[in-house]
Structure 1
Amino acid sequence: MGRTIAILVARLIFAGVFLMATSFKFIDMQSTASYIASAGFPAPLFLAWVAAFFELALALALLTGAFFSQAALLAGIYVIFLAFAFHGPGHWSGNQAEFGFFIDHFTFLAGLLFAAVHGPGETLVVRDNRLRTALR
């Protein structure tokens, strides 16, 4: 019982982080685009929309358990990309807090990799087989 609760809480935390990030983007997409532009990326508004929908898809997968391991792995790659793109070594000299933000992404990565390997648990999970069959 304790294992099941821990897994469900972890899934809620993972999904909650991505849902918060998604909501901030949808609430003020232009600010997100400005932040993306400040990192030097082209087409920042387009990338902001892509990021918002990608994060929403990750949250749904982590909540439902559908394609859970794949989503956790993609989320890990995304989180490390964000660490280097927005909080990497080039940002540390101007603000020491950026180093902390950078390191925090690796602790999140560790949890996502653990989740990717061990899966969503047995409770409250949409099985990939049933979803794949329904999509055919």
Structure 2
Amino acid sequence: MARTTAILVARLIFGGLFVMAATFKFIDMQTTANAIAGAGFPFPLFLAWCAAIFELGLAAAFLTGAFFSEAAVLAGAYVIFLAFAFHGPGRWEGNQAEFGFFVDHFTFLAGLLFAAVHGPGERLAVHLGLKQVFAPVRQIA
């Protein structure tokens, strides 16, 4: 029971974080676009919308359990990209807090990798992933 509870709480935390991130983007998309432009990326408004939609997809995967491991790996890559793009070494000199933000992304990555390996648990999870989707194709071939 404790294992199931821990897994469900972890899924709620992962899902909740990505719901909040997407919500803040939808509330003020221009602020997100400005941050993206400030980091030197082209098409900042388009990328802000892409980020918000991607984060909603991640939240759905974490909350439902569908494509959970795949979402955890993608979220890990996304989180590390964000660490370097928005909190990387070029920003540490002027603000020590940026180093802390940078390092925090790696602790988040550790949790996501652990989740990817162990999956969404047995309770309240849609057990659907790429292995299950492509299993019928392998049987035909």
Could you say whether these structures have the same fold, taking a TM-score greater than 0.5 normalized by the shorter chain as the test? yes
| Letter of the 1:38 counterpart | G
For the pair shown, which has the larger CA radius of gyration, 1 or 2? Answer: 2
Equivalent position SS for 1:101: helix
- Number of the residue aligned with 2:50: 50
CA distance in 2, matches of 1:99, 1:35: 18
Q: Distance in 2 between matches of 1:43 and 1:62?
A: 28
The Cα of 1:132 is off from its aligned counterpart by 4.5
Consecutive unaligned residues in structure 1, runs of 5 or more = none
User: How far did 1:127 drift?
Assistant: 1.9
Identity %: 77
Equivalent residue number for residue 111 of structure 1: 111
Q: How does 1:92-111 map to 2 (within 5 A)?
A: 92-111=92-111
C-alpha separation in 1, matches of 2:15 and 2:97: 25
Q: Distance in 1 between matches of 2:133 and 2:56?
A: 20
Divergent runs of 4+, >4 A: none
- Tell me the C-alpha RMSD between the 2 structures: 1.3
Matches within 5 A, 1:16-55: 16-55=16-55
In structure 1, how many angstroms separate the alpha carbons of the residues matched to 2:127 and 2:9?
19
| Amino acid of the structure 2 residue aligned with 1:13 | I
Distance in 1, Cα, partners of 2:125 & 2:16: 17
3-state SS of paired residue (1:128): coil
Question: In structure 2, what is the Cα distance between the partners aligned to 1:40 and 1:34?
Answer: 10
Q: How many residues align?
A: 132
What amino acid sits opposite 1:14 in the alignment? F
Task: Give, in angstroms, the shift of residue 87 of structure 1.
Answer: 0.1
Distance 2:127 2:72 in 1: 15
Per-residue deviation, residues 13-57 of structure 1 (Å, max 9, x unmatched)? 001111110000000000000000000000000000000000000
Residue in structure 1 matched with residue 80 of structure 2 by the alignment: 80
Aligned to 2:7: 7
TM score, norm. by length of structure 2: 0.91
**Counterparts of 1:86 and 1:113 in 2: how far apart (Å)?**
21
Aligned-residue offset at 1:78: 0.2
